[in-house]
Amino acid sequence: MLSALLWRGEAFLGGGARGEGLLGSGRDGGSPSRRSLLSHAAVAWSMASLSPFAATAAGFEAFAEEKQQDGRLLRAERDARAATTPTAPADPRPSPPVTSTPGEAADPTPPPTDEFSVAFSPDEPVGLLLRDLRVGFETGTREGTSRILVSDVTPGSQADRSGKVEIDNILVAVDGVNVEKAGVKQVMAMIASARSEGRTITITFKDALAFNTRLTDLPRGEEWKMPIATVVAPATDTQAAQVFAVKRLEVPDRCRRNAQNGDLLEIRYTGRLADGTVFDGMELANRFADDSIQFVLGRQPAGQFPPAWDVGLVGMCNGERRQLDVPPVLGFGKKGLPKRGVPPDARLIYEIELLSINADSSI
> Exposed, middle or buried: residue 335 (CB in 10 Å: 0-12, 13-18, 19+)?
middle
pLDDT at site 30: 44
Check: CB of residue 210 under 8 Å from CB of residue 168: no
With a cut of 80, say whether residue 341 has pLDDT above it: yes
Mean pLDDT of the chain: 76
> Exposed, middle or buried: residue 254 (CB in 10 Å: 0-12, 13-18, 19+)?
exposed
pLDDT at site 362: 85
With 0.85 as the threshold, say if the pTM is over it: no
At 148, the amino acid letter reads I
pLDDT digits (tens, 9 = 90+) for 184-238: 999 999 999 999 999 999 999 999 888 888 888 876 777 777 888 998 888 777 7
Check: CB of residue 270 under 8 Å from CB of residue 351: yes
- Which of 106-120, 283-297, 315-329 is predicted least confidently? 283-297
Check: CB of residue 350 under 8 Å from CB of residue 78: no
pLDDT band at 162 (very low <50, low <70, confident <90, very high): very high
